[in-house]
Amino acid sequence: MVEIKILFAFYPVIPYNYGKQYMKKSHKPKVLFLYDFPLHGGGSGAYVKYLALRLVEKHGYKDRIAIASPDKEGFDPRIKQYYIKLPQIPVFIGRPGLEQSKKYSDLTPSEIASLYKAFIEGTIRAVKKFHPDIIHVHHVMVNMWAARFIRGIFGTKYIVTSHGSCIHAISRDRRYFRLSRDSLNAASAITVVSGDTRAKLLKMFGSYLSKKTRTIPGGIKLSSFPPEKNVAAMRKEMGLTDKKIALFTGRLISEKGVEYLVKAAKKINGVVIIAGDGPQKASLEELVVKMQLTNVKMLGFFHDPSKIIDFYYMCDVFVSPAVWDEPLGLTTIEAMASYTPAIVTRKGGSIMAIKDGVNGLFVRPRNANEIAKAVNYLFGNDELRKKMGLAARKTVEEKFTWTKIAHRFDLLYRNVSKPK
């Protein structure tokens, strides 16, 4: 077992409850985001980045937001970043850029201890330099344990956001349960990205946490999704001018259920485009060959987000055939923002965004026939598909923009930072 040696030289630098003295300078608290992955890649990374940007741009948090994470690459000069050096970066499920990483369930006790030690030391260094009033932890996991440690030593309040996959990981490996439960108990507030994630968190850790738990979903930057976008040239370039298109974008992992979309393709009266990468890519390509499918295009991963947005506008329907309780797929929200109706499984957080028959359709998981039937139904009804696309866009405008989401966090931060 690795011995956790904390650098006590840090401790005298910051007095207990030190953050209150900084609150006198501004009515906005200083918030340090504590994140356990690189910022680039993955839905939770997008959540962290866009929330930080909107708080700075729209809610007066200039020089009052910083991010501590295992990522040396900056993304915006207005937001300070502090690098946390970890012995390794484990994952909950597959994640772009971390395909070779161990899952949390595969870590040894010594590796978990080393990770905990690194998060404590890295977070203390960030706290020493930034002097936050609040630490906003993203994910219910080892980085949250570090925030609990700092709360106990320095009195710095923290809130926690569960993005869903962390709860899934803890349900598979109870070694992470007790310290996570203790850390949630000490948190000033808890947020979750979907009602499904809220239900799972409360079931796992106790319904008594409901009083301080609220649901704040992820969102999109609406300005990136204009009311109209001409993609005729793109369709022509790909030889799809007169074709109906069903699109999937995202990680190619078993939890996403993409194999059922591929199996459905044989009965789909149009083209299926799969844009993404991951450990399932090779097996999906083999399945395409085995089934002799000529209407499936595997395009790989696109690093340019604007290219993916073009695909959302170009396609006629978006398909998310997840077989696990996905918290709330960002790709589904992005497709809806592009006036594209979504066909999704009734799993996890999708029920927050999709109203069956209004802005999208539900299908049963692991059911290729239902997927094909739903896709062909919308392919064959242009008027209905357009109407559902408009409803999808309206849903995003009302519930899933970062400006509105950041406003809710602004209110939360200010409430938590008030002297009790």
In a domain, 3, yes or no: no
Is 108 found in the same domain as 152? yes
User: So what's the pLDDT on residue 337?
Assistant: 96
Is the distance from CB of 219 to CB of 242 less than 8 angstroms?
A: no
pLDDT at 97: 74
pLDDT tier at 31, thresholds 50, 70, 90: very high
Residue 30 is assigned to a structural domain of this protein: yes
Domain identity same for 205 and 227: no
Give pLDDT, residue 328: 66
Q: What is the mean pLDDT of residues 225-240?
A: 92
Checking if the pLDDT of 15 tops 50, the result is no
Residues 22-51: what's their mean pLDDT?
84
The answer to whether residues 45 and 142 belong to one domain is yes
Residue 128 lies in a domain: yes
> Given this model, what pLDDT does residue 40 score?
84
In a domain, 353, yes or no: yes
Dihedral (Cα; 360, 190, 99, 52), 10-degree rounding: 80
Is residue 208 assigned to a domain?
A: yes
The sign of the torsion formed by the CA atoms of 364, 369, 371, 375 equals negative
Query: Binning pLDDT at 50, 70 and 90, where does residue 5 land?
Result: very low
Reply yes or no on whether the pLDDT at 7 is more than 50. no
Neighbour-count burial for 52-91, b at 16+ CB within 10 Å, e otherwise: bbbbbeebebeebbbbbbbbeeebeeebbbbbbebeebbb
Q: What's residue 317's pLDDT? A: 98
Question: pLDDT tens for residues 264-273?
Answer: 999 999 999 9
For residues 404 and 18, which has the higher predicted lDDT (pLDDT)?
404
Q: Is the pLDDT of residue 321 over 90?
A: yes
Q: Is residue 2 part of a domain?
A: no
Same domain, 207 and 235: no
Closest CA to 261 of 146, 414, 363: 363
Residues 385 and 410 in one domain: no
Give the integer Cα–Cα distance in Å for 19 and 30.
Answer: 8
Helix extents (H) in 24-108 = 43-58
Q: How confident is the model at residue 8 (pLDDT cuts 50, 70, 90)?
A: very low
In a domain, 1, yes or no: no
Identify whether residues 210 and 254 lie together within a single domain: no
Q: What is the pLDDT of residue 30?
A: 97
Predicted pLDDT at 10: 42
Q: Can you give the pTM of this predicted structure? A: 0.83
Among 15-19, 95-99, 197-201, 266-270, the minimum mean pLDDT is found in: 15-19
Instruction: State mean pLDDT over 317-346.
Output: 88
Domain that holds residue 338: 222-399
**Do 56 and 24 share a structural domain?**
yes
Does residue 27 lie in a domain region?
yes
**Mean pLDDT across 53-78:** 94
Are 285 and 408 contained in the same domain? no
Q: Is 161 helix (H, G, I), strand (E, B) or coil?
A: strand
Q: Is the same domain home to 352 and 413? A: no
Considering the domain architecture, whether residues 35 and 150 belong to the same structural domain is answered as: yes
Please state, rounded to an integer, the average pLDDT across all residues of the chain.
90
What's the pLDDT band for 346 if we cut at 50, 70, 90? confident
Q: Does residue 329 share a domain with residue 277? A: yes
Residue 265 maps to which CATH number? Answer: 3.40.50.2000
Reading the block at residue 221, the tokens are 């930057």
Asked whether the predicted pLDDT for residue 28 surpasses 50, the reply is: yes
pLDDT band at 352 (very low <50, low <70, confident <90, very high): confident
Total number of domains in the chain: 2
DSSP, collapsed to helix, strand or coil, labels residue 207 as: helix
* CB distance 240 to 216 below 8 Å: no
Asked if residue 278 and residue 227 are part of one domain, the reply reads yes
Which residues are within 8 A (CB) of 208 and not within 5 positions of it... i.e. 6 or more apart? none
Q: Residues 176-181: what's their mean pLDDT?
A: 98
8-12, 211-215, 299-303: range with lowest mean pLDDT: 8-12
| Arithmetic mean of pLDDT, 69-83 | 94
pLDDT at 336: 96
Alpha-carbon dihedral sign for residues 125, 90, 192, 77: positive
Question: To 5 degrees, how large is the angle CA 130–CA 132–CA 134?
Answer: 155
